[in-house]
Amino acid sequence: MKIAMIAAMSTNRVIGINNDLPWHLPDDMKFFMETTKHHCVIMGRKNYESLPLKFRPLPNRTNIVMTRQVQYEAAGCVVFATLQESLDYAKGQGEDLVFIIGGGQIYELALDIADRIYLTEIDAVIEGGEVFFPKLGPMWSEVARQHHPIDDRHQFSFDFVTFEKGLSS
């Protein structure tokens, strides 16, 4: 089973403020929804709770929530305490590609075992960030990039970037 991480981050690596996204980028949200559809998605409890109620659980996906809270329940989701338990569950569901969708602590946990990263790089410095995407080491190689300019629906320009692990440049 392949493990992919998917995130959007600002130039200064911010991915969240006040348990929310600090931007509104509809095409990035569409990319996220289409890329993760029909797959297991693994997220931390805070990330799950940051989702608008109308999107909980994320539709057309198996939602896996990680938390250390023993009695935690999330309607329509499966809950595990560890990343390994979450991955084992996804594999047991016959999943060939699982997505780590955040937040910051979950990305840190998964970085060493992930195979691919779908990262939306937003051309903005966001002040007051509380959650950050981890820095990528030299084992990660950029394999694709698609630019999206500012337009009437997007306040910032951004790039959809794909990284894979272990490719030599």
Per-residue pLDDT, 14: 98
* Residue pLDDT, tens place only, 23-50: 999 999 999 999 999 999 999 999 999 9
Domains of the chain in sequence order: 2-165 (3.40.430.10)
Would you say 150 and 157 are in contact if contact means Cβ atoms under 8 Å apart?
Answer: yes
How far is 78 from 33, CA to CA, in rounded Å? Answer: 19
In three-state form (DSSP H/G/I as H, E/B as E, the rest C), the secondary structure along 2-64 is: EEEEEEEEECCCEEEECCECCCCCHHHHHHHHHHHCCCEEEEEHHHHHHCCHHHCCCCCCEEE
* Residue pLDDT, tens place only, 86-118: 999 999 999 999 999 999 999 999 999 999 999
Per-residue pLDDT, 118: 98
pLDDT band at 166 (very low <50, low <70, confident <90, very high): confident
pLDDT band at 168 (very low <50, low <70, confident <90, very high): low
Beta-bridge partners for 62 = 40
Query: What's the whole-number average pLDDT of the chain?
Result: 96
pLDDT of residue 169 exceeding 60: no
